[in-house]
Amino acid sequence: MTNLNMPEMLKTQLTDFFYELHRTPELSNQEFHTTQKIKDVLTQYDIRILDLPIKTGLVAEIGHGEPTIVLRSDIDALPITEQADVAYVSEHQGVMHACGHDFHATAVLGTAILLKQQESTLQGKVRILFQAAEEVGTGAAELVQAGVLEQAQAVFGIHNDPTLEVGVVGCKAGALTAGVDRFAIHIQAKGTHAARPQDGNDPLLILANIINIFQTIVSRRLSSDENAVLSITQVHSGSTWNIIPDTAFLEGTVRSFDAETRQRIEQQIRQILEGLATTFNAKIDLDWQPGPPSVMNDEKWAQFALDTAQKSGFEPRVVKASPIGEDFSYYQEQVNGAFMMIGSGGPFPLHHPKFKVDERILIPTSLYLATLVQDALIEIQDS
Ligand code: NI
């Protein structure tokens, strides 16, 4: 069942397709041409496309009957001006595939074609997602809403990881990525002449207290076996040297790895701000924007993904959780599955203007994922 190989012509087609996507990146929710290009190839191979109420992205299906397995890729790019040393550099000014979603989409497209060529032997069906808007954290929820998890018994997805060497597949049971929350805080106090602070209420002093006390949340209020990151990333206030301003603003993010810690940090932030508002007699508004929760891999499927990686010629590696965010977690809230990190060989990190994926991993990843879903269908039927 797993003796897959790929004709040279298809390898060339996929490699060219990867270059094409990389040259023509599109931002979240604007992936119209990307969607059309994927659709064209799927149609060329007579792969059925589901009719869903979505503007960008698409979902294909291969095989028949049950069980159903879902395999997800993402397709959107980032507002970054590319500086990567590649021949197929972005032709869209200020937009770049700096997270490798062009690689994910192409690898999974390759898997779809491989599965189509073996459709008669497939022990169920595979639903293949080309998901829009991962970078803004809304695409997965939209597809869940559209019903793509109906009947699904397992869900798999990949992300490339430049911190892992080419040839490595990383995975782990439990939390693999962070829950990502964003907060913005508006302080309304009272401006005055810098020489007469007693006539006003200084928002900068309040801001300084918020920064200090927030940094006690992780260091003093979580236990040593709890894991989280809190970063304040921008502050704005004031206009000149001799006026105390009326207002101040700060913004930041919290990364956590389990639902309980996540909820507790939010509660503490609210409590600290209420206390400071009372202490300083000021108005402090919190805009709390929850992002996707942690990718939470099922124990059995994480091991299955690692075992299949080994069978497929990759080096399987149990990795540590990473503080990045990933909206694949919304699928896993409904259906068990695993998310795998495919080593893409650095040296530049994700979202860096010089980021690139080592293209040698493209075809092996298509083959790996085809083996994985074929074997997972059999595994479900046997269990
Ligand atoms: Ni990404």
Distance 159 CA to ligand 1 centre (A): 6
pLDDT tens-place string over residues 319-369: 999 888 999 999 999 999 999 999 999 899 999 999 999 999 999 999 999
Q: pLDDT tens digits, residue range 89-124?
A: 999 999 999 999 999 999 999 999 999 999 999 999
Query: What's the pLDDT score for residue 3?
Result: 55
Rounded to the nearest angstrom, the distance between the alpha carbon of 273 and the centre of ligand 1 is: 33
| Residue 4 scores a pLDDT above 80 | no
275-301, pLDDT tens digit by residue?
A: 999 999 999 999 999 999 999 999 999
Check the CA dihedral 160-164-170-173 and report its sign. Answer: negative
> What is the whole-number distance in angstroms between the Cα of residue 327 and the centre of ligand 1?
9
- DSSP code at position 132: S
Closest alpha carbon to 284 in 274, 299, 269: 274
- Distance in Å, CA 102 to ligand 1 centroid: 10
Ligand 1 center from residue 326 Cα (angstroms): 7
Inter-residue contact 164 to 315 (CB < 8 Å): no
Classify 117 in phi/psi space as left (phi over 0), alpha (psi -120 to 50) or beta: alpha
Q: 68 alpha carbon to ligand 1 midpoint, in Å?
A: 25
Under a CB-based contact definition with an 8 Å cutoff, are residues 130 and 108 in contact? yes
Q: Would the CA dihedral through 76, 169, 309, 340 be positive or negative?
A: negative
Letter string b/e over residues 232-257, b meaning 16 or more CB atoms within 10 A of that residue's CB: beebebbeeeeebbbbbebbbbbbbb
CA of 177 to the centre of ligand 1 (A): 11
Mean pLDDT of the chain: 96
